[in-house]
């Protein structure tokens, strides 16, 4: 596809599908007022950005949300969304390299449209001609829908982008020698996200009409201060010091304009001293170095030594949804292509299920169900009938379903979006002619570094060569984390994005016990890790051998170890893994991805299957935890600015009382009576509990059934502080440590930067847990914990020492938790744990617990 016409004009093609609009309607003054350049914008409906013309790719520093094409008509800046620089690259994947020559229509980057809609002011994407010497726009298409590859701008062909100022090697005093004395000044960049599009355009606009050539110098590189794209390409961060040089009659006026934007100039830099060590600022801006430790969240525990391997490898880029180079064939032909591709993926899923063990079989079975979902098939067929390609039809059908999951605050349910995106990508891969078989060959002991790895991608990797995984995205309860745990594969998620800059082949240590990735560590650290791995393997083997035995402390105290479940198929394997009951059944799996609520009988059958699988063991069923943060098609919800603090949990059940009543009736119908207990989510006061209890008692009388035990989840500081009052109304309390940590520490559970600091071992969270324990013991109530903390071996002594004697973890963690309990004395834990409340933060608590464990008699293995 070419972008030049035979009439000497140049046309720019739509890089994404959507609605075109003039720049004046862009909700940003820099783009709206044309400071960044002339052009138009598109409100996108697709998730892949394509090249609007032939040219060379220019990547602006480390940013992933924007790039430009250096073409015959000038620099074409493509900026996905407004203020998306604040997302720090999350949700964006660049598919090309800096300096790469691309053709019009070639995919450039993929982005998560739903994430942008939630995290940025707007997804509107400006396409502007930036810099000097750009071509004049003769015609622009605005105010209507366009598809990828359709002409949106017609330009004079006589323009041409000014060549970017080449990088130069600075002399000893920081000058290139090309500028006169007194024409250079230093400034500290004040903008929150450095010289991204907005401040770069403002700086260029500030110099309009001034007779001076101004260059910006940083780290041995330089760019014209009049070039928005050139400035962005420097990758200047907030607080970084840059030097500006000006020549020409208007130099003084140029510096005056610059200082109105950047502030006063800094004092001249003293002559540098010769030193081989980098400054702290330089280290923060550089890629990881030998000996660096990068933090992440533990998704699958374990220790690994290996070499860095980046995913996706070369040639394995994400397949785009749209194919602008190929027009749709007849609807019949396109439907046939899609049907064949889905069948090929279904065969591949069956193969992965056969090869991957119990966890893979359950997941692949779920993927098979999603793949055959009639609603998704109907939506894709409708799009094909309307004239789209099989690729676009399938991509849009699954994209819409994924969007409904993407906005959920509940991390487990939000991460189900990855399953849909996985299926979307697999089918698109077949449609693109790549087939389903993996082509990637891992090096020996590969530690895969990725923004995100999908379940099918993990299963396709050679487990004999795979040592561990470290991802910048993902969650601790995602399906890929569950698969890693089942395979005994160490995995970190939510890790520092800096790890994506580690050179392939670099020696690494992955410590998925302490949550660290060590870059090219010294020999001593490698030897220590090898010793820890051997101790851990012996301990795990022993724990699994005794998994079906009760968890008794050294002084004979019984600690109940339950499991968390999210589907009927998980019950029997959980019992085999040692679970003594289900401490939390997440019932959302019955309500999502459908257009009407499940019937009472549908629910009863699922609950009965789980109860039967547990063979009489306790089954604690949480009522539907949905609301503004978890959109469900048949539950109309008002728009909420902050859904995490809005209509969710039991509040939603009381608003949509028919849904709550149906669920309670289904629970009451499960045999034998008394095995099921009812758990209410997001309780903050007594009135809601009393209302549900009265409803439950009335339904039980009508059904001639005994009233099941009623409990509440302690997920907010309010519930913890009212624990004594709640204990007078209910039979048990269940602490949801994930949400309790989120609401106590005011940190979003999915925050890319702060997520690693969200720790249930923070002293403030432990203090609330202790408050609940005192209330439960005083009133003779059962107290459990069902969040991630229950499966954290390092948290076990703190929790049982504070009075939590029921732990509900993932099935894969049950044996390990039981083993940790057996290594402890309850009396010693009770003497030790209260002192943790006086420590300053979660890091100090973890260090104190680890040190204490190492001193315990008979304790084997590292903390």
CB 651 within 8 A of CB 682: yes
- Kindly report the CA angle at 567 between 562 and 571, in degrees rounded to 5? 45
When mean pLDDT is compared across 44-58, 592-606, 663-677, the lowest value belongs to 592-606
What is the structure's pLDDT at 644? Answer: 59
> What domains can be seen in the chain, in order of their start residue?
9-156 (2.70.70.10), 184-266 (3.30.1340.10), 293-316+440-539 (3.50.30.10), 331-431 (1.10.274.10), 546-854 (3.20.20.60)
Higher pLDDT, 473 or 774: 774
Q: Please, which residues bridge with residue 298 across strands?
A: 492
Structure tokens that stand for 87 in this block: 């997302």
Q: State the average pLDDT for the chain.
A: 81
Calculate the alpha carbon distances from 524 to 510, 531, 850 in Å: 15, 11, 21
Please pick, among 479, 656, 762, 805, the residue that the annotation labels catalytic: 479
CA 618, distance to chain mean position in Å, is 33
What is the structure's pLDDT at 723? Answer: 96
pLDDT band at 386 (very low <50, low <70, confident <90, very high): confident
**CA dihedral sign of residues 42, 43, 44, 49:** positive
Decide if pLDDT at 613 tops 90.
yes
- Kindly report the CA angle at 419 between 630 and 340, in degrees rounded to 5? 130
Tabulate helix, strand, coil % of the chain (nearest 5).
40, 20, 40
CB 507 within 8 A of CB 530: no
Please pick, among 563, 786, 805, 829, the residue that the annotation labels catalytic: 786
Higher pLDDT, 53 or 201: 53
Q: How many CA atoms lie within 13 A of 801 on its CB side?
A: 24
Highest mean pLDDT: which range of 98-102, 587-591, 757-761, 773-777: 773-777
What is the structure's pLDDT at 429? Answer: 80
Decide if pLDDT at 288 tops 70.
yes
Contacts of 403 (CB under 8 A, 6+ apart): 113, 114
Decide if pLDDT at 373 tops 80.
no
The alpha-helical segments, DSSP class H, found in 182-225 are 197-206
Calculate the alpha carbon distances from 791 to 230, 444, 565 in Å: 50, 31, 13
The total number of residues written for the chain in this structure: 863
Q: What pLDDT digit, counting tens, does each position of 518-568 carry? A: 999 888 888 888 887 778 778 888 888 999 999 999 999 999 999 999 888
Q: What pLDDT digit, counting tens, does each position of 235-278 carry? A: 677 667 888 888 888 888 888 888 888 888 876 654 434 333 33
CB 247 within 8 A of CB 205: no
DSSP code of residue 162 = P
What is the structure's pLDDT at 361? Answer: 66
**CA dihedral sign of residues 238, 239, 240, 244:** positive
Q: What pLDDT digit, counting tens, does each position of 495-515 carry? A: 877 788 888 899 999 998 888
Measure the CA–CA gap between 63 and 68, rounded to whole angstroms.
Answer: 12
Measure the CA–CA gap between 93 and 112, rounded to whole angstroms.
Answer: 9
Q: Give yes or no: 751 in active site.
A: no
Q: Give yes or no: 582 in active site.
A: no
Structure tokens that stand for 155 in this block: 């330009």
Contacts of 481 (CB under 8 A, 6+ apart): 299, 300, 474, 475, 491, 493
What is the structure's pLDDT at 180? Answer: 41
pTM of the model: 0.56
Decide if pLDDT at 174 tops 80.
no
Q: What pLDDT digit, counting tens, does each position of 445-472 carry? A: 999 998 888 777 888 888 889 999 999 8
CB 162 within 8 A of CB 37: no
CB 660 within 8 A of CB 623: yes
Question: 692 phi and psi, to 5 degrees?
Answer: -70, -40
CA-atom Rg of the chain in angstroms: 29
CB 519 within 8 A of CB 294: yes
């Amino acid at each position: 596809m070419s972008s030049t016409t035979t009439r000497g004009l140049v046309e720019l093609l739509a890089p994404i599908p959507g609605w075109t609009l003039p720049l004046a309607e862009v909700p940003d003054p820099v783009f709206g007022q044309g400071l960044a350049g002339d052009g138009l914008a598109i409100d996108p409906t697709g998730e892949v950005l394509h090249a609007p013309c032939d040219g060379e790719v220019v990547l602006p520093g480390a940013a992933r949300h924007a790039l430009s094409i250096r073409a015959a008509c000038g620099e074409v800046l493509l900026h996905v969304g407004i203020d998306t620089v604040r997302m720090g690259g999350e949700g964006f994947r660049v598919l090309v390299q800096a300096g790469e020559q691309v053709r019009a229509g070639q995919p450039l980057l993929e982005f998560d449209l739903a994430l942008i809609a939630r995290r940025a002011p707007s997804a509107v994407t400006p396409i502007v001609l930036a810099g000097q010497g750009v071509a004049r726009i003769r015609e622009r298409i605005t105010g209507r829908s366009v598809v990828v590859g359709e002409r949106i701008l017609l330009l004079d062909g006589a323009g041409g982008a000014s060549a970017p100022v080449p990088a130069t090697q600075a002399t000893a005093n920081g000058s290139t020698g090309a500028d006169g004395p007194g024409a250079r000044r230093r400034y500290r960049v004040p903008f929150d996200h450095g010289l991204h599009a907005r401040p770069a355009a403002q700086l260029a606009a500030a110099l309009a009409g001034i007779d001076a050539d101004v260059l910006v110098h940083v780290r041995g590189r330089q760019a014209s201060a009049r070039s928005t794209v050139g400035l962005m390409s420097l990758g200047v961060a907030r607080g970084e010091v840059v030097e500006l040089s000006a020549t020409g009659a208007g130099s003084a006026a140029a510096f005056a304009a610059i200082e109105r934007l950047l502030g006063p100039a800094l004092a001249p830099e003293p002559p540098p001293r010769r030193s081989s060590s980098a400054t702290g600022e330089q280290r923060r801006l550089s890629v990881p170095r030998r000996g660096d430790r990068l933090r992440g969240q533990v998704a699958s525990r374990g220790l690994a030594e290996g070499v860095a391997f980046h995913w996706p490898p070369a040639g394995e880029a994400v397949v785009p949804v749209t194919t602008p180079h190929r027009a749709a064939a007849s609807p019949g032909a396109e439907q046939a292509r899609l049907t064949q591709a889905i069948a090929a993926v279904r065969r591949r899923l069956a193969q992965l299920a056969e090869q991957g063990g119990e966890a893979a079989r359950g997941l692949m079975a779920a993927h098979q169900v999603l793949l055959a979902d009639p609603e998704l098939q109907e939506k894709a067929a409708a799009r094909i009938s309307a004239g789209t390609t099989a690729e676009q039809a399938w991509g849009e059908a699954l994209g819409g379903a994924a969007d409904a999951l993407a906005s959920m605050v509940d991390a487990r349910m939000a991460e189900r979006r990855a399953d849909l995106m996985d299926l979307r990508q697999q089918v698109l891969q077949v449609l693109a002619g790549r087939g389903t078989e993996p082509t990637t060959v891992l090096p020996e002991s590969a530690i895969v570094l990725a923004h995100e790895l999908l379940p099918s991608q993990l299963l396709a990797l050679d487990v004999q060569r795979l040592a561990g995984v470290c991802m910048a995205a993902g969650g601790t309860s995602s399906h890929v984390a569950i698969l890693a745990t089942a395979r005994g594969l160490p995995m970190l998620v939510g890790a520092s994005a800096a790890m994506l800059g580690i050179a392939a082949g670099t020696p690494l240590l992955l410590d998925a016990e302490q949550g660290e990735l060590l870059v090219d560590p010294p020999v001593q650290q490698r030897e220590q890790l090898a010793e820890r791995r051997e101790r851990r393997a012996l301990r795990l083997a022993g724990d699994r051998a005794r998994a079906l035995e009760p968890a008794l402390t050294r002084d004979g105290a019984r600690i109940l170890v339950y499991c968390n479940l999210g589907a009927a198929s998980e019950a029997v394997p959980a019992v085999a893994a040692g679970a003594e009951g289900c401490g939390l059944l997440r019932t959302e799996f019955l309500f999502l991805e459908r257009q009407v609520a499940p019937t009472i009988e549908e629910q009863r059958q699922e609950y009965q299957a789980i109860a039967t699988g547990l063979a009489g063991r306790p089954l604690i069923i949480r009522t539907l935890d949905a609301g503004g943060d978890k959109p469900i098609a048949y539950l109309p919800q008002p728009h909420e600015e902050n859904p995490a603090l809005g209509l969710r949990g039991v509040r939603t059940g009381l608003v949509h009382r028919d849904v709550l009543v149906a669920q309670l009736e289904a629970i009451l119908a499960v045999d034998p009576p008394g095995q099921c207990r009812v758990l209410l989510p997001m309780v903050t006061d007594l009135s809601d509990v009393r209302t549900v209890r009265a409803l439950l008692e009335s339904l039980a009388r009508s059904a001639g059934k005994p009233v099941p035990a009623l409990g509440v989840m302690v997920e907010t500081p309010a519930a913890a502080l009212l624990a004594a009052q709640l204990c007078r109304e209910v039979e048990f309390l269940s602490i949801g440590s994930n949400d309790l940590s989120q609401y106590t520490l005011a940190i979003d559970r999915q925050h890319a930067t702060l997520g690693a600091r969200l720790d249930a071992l923070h002293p403030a969270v432990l203090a609330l847990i202790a408050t609940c324990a005192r209330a439960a013991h005083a009133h003779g109530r059962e107290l459990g914990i069902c969040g991630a903390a229950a499966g954290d071996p390092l948290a076990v002594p703190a929790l049982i020492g504070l009075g939590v004697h029921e732990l509900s973890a993932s099935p894969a963690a049950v044996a390990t938790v039981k083993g940790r309990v057996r290594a402890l004395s309850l009396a010693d834990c009770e003497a030790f744990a209260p002192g943790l409340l006086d420590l300053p933060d979660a890091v100090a608590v973890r260090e104190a617990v680890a040190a204490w464990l190492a001193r315990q008699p008979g304790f084997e293995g590292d903390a």
